[in-house]
Amino acid sequence: MRSHLGGRLLQVLPTILLVSILVFALQQLMPGDPAVVLAGEERGDPAVLAQIRNELWLDRSLPVQYFHWIGNVLRGDLGFSWRIRQPVAALILTKLPVTLQLAAMAFGIALCIGVPTGILSAVKRNTAWDYAANLVGLAGLSTPNFWLGIMLILLVSVKLGWLPPSGYVPLTEDWRQSLATTIMPAFVLGNAIAAILMRHTRSAMLTALDQDFVRTARAKGLNEWTVVLRHAFRNALVPVVTLGALELGTLLSGAVLTEQVFSIPGFGKLVVDAVFNRDYPVVQGVVLVTACLYILLNLLADVLYVVINPRLRDA
């Protein structure tokens, strides 16, 4: 097990290195000279331009710029926002908890919807239940997040007046208000993940229900739900957990638009605002941090896979 994890760790390092190069290379796509953009009114003054280029290391060769940047990143310095004039790392740290709260709630909602429907659809295979669950799942996958958000605002906030249409209150300030402002966006985000989890659970359950130990459990005369939940589901859980963990990327991508629709000041809104303001260091920082989070979660899923599956643990 240890060597397996060691091997995975060794694989992760070059991936992270490549991500950093990719993120750095993105900057080269930006049209125009960043120094001119930053100089604003003083863009006609060559001395100012030269000073900016010097401060941002823009006058060095690309490899030198990269090593300078990555050196800072390794020390936890993601640079300065060109627009807000704050350290990018600090900006990300203030916005991350908002999105993490949203993501955690979304994942909880997705688990509550996706796993039971997946089990039901596998147990009642090829019945009306199965077809209905599949259709609802496919519909969930096909609904654009932001449209679902707009429709929910229309129904729940505008027509029924039950929940606020937008805004955000931190959990620490007032947990009730916080839940009221985040439950709709969390549902929107969780909806797509629920559909994916449903599909994973269904196929994992179908495989598990086909196994010999399930037949043995049935032959022992166990109650069908005991067979399904205690025997089959415990085995189906392995792929569900690991594949579920990989949906973080979907969650973060979804958060970008969901936060936009519900005006939630999180990670997604940070990156969209940065993109529109051509605030390059922020975009770079956000992409780098999310990619590293994703890679680490991938690794965690691998570890979890080994921990849950005793056969791999002893290997």
Partner 1 sequence: MKASPTALALRRFRGRPAAVLGFAVITLFVVVAIAAPLIAPYDPVATSWTAIRKAPSMQHWMGTDENGRDVLSRVVFGARASLLAGVVSVLIAAGVGVPVGLLAGFAGGRVDAVIGRVVDAMLACPFLILAIALAAFLGPALTNAMVAIGVTAAPVFARVARSATMDTMTFDYVEAARAVGNPPWRVALRHVAPNIVPPVLVQATLAIALAIIAEASLSFLGLGQQPPAPSWGSMLNSAQRFLTQAPWLAVFPGAAIFLAVLAFNLVGDGLRDALDPRRH
Residues that bind partner 1 (CB under 8 A): 14-16, 18-19, 21-23, 26, 29-31, 135, 138-139, 141-147, 150-151, 153-154, 158, 165, 249-250, 252-254, 256-257, 260-261, 271-272, 275-276, 278, 283, 286-287, 290-292, 294-295, 298
Closest CA to 129 of 142, 139, 140, 116: 116
Q: Least distance (Å) from partner 1 to the CB of residue 112?
A: 23
**What is the nearest approach in angstroms of partner 1 to the Cβ of residue 184?**
14
Tell me the C-alpha distance between 315 and 313, whole Å.
6
CB closer to partner 1, 70 vs 295: 295
Choose between 155 and 315: whose C-beta lies nearer to partner 1.
155
We find the least distance from the C-beta atom of residue 59 to partner 1, in angstroms, to be: 21
Is the distance from CB of 200 to CB of 194 less than 8 angstroms? Answer: no
Phi, psi of 281 (to 5 degrees): -55, -35
Concatenated DSSP letters of 150-174: HHHIIIIIIIS--S-SS----TTT-
Kindly tell me which of 23 and 227 has the beta carbon lying closer to partner 1.
23
* Alpha-carbon gap, residue 93 to 59, rounded angstroms: 30
Cβ–Cβ < 8 Å for 196, 247: yes
Residue number with CB closer to partner 1 (118 or 254): 254
What's the min distance (Å) between Cβ of 285 and partner 1?
A: 12
User: Cβ 84 to partner 1, closest distance in Å?
Assistant: 17
164 backbone dihedrals φ, ψ, rounded to 5°: -65, 140
Closer CB to partner 1, 111 or 295, in the complex: 295
Contact predicate 247/294, CB 8 Å = no
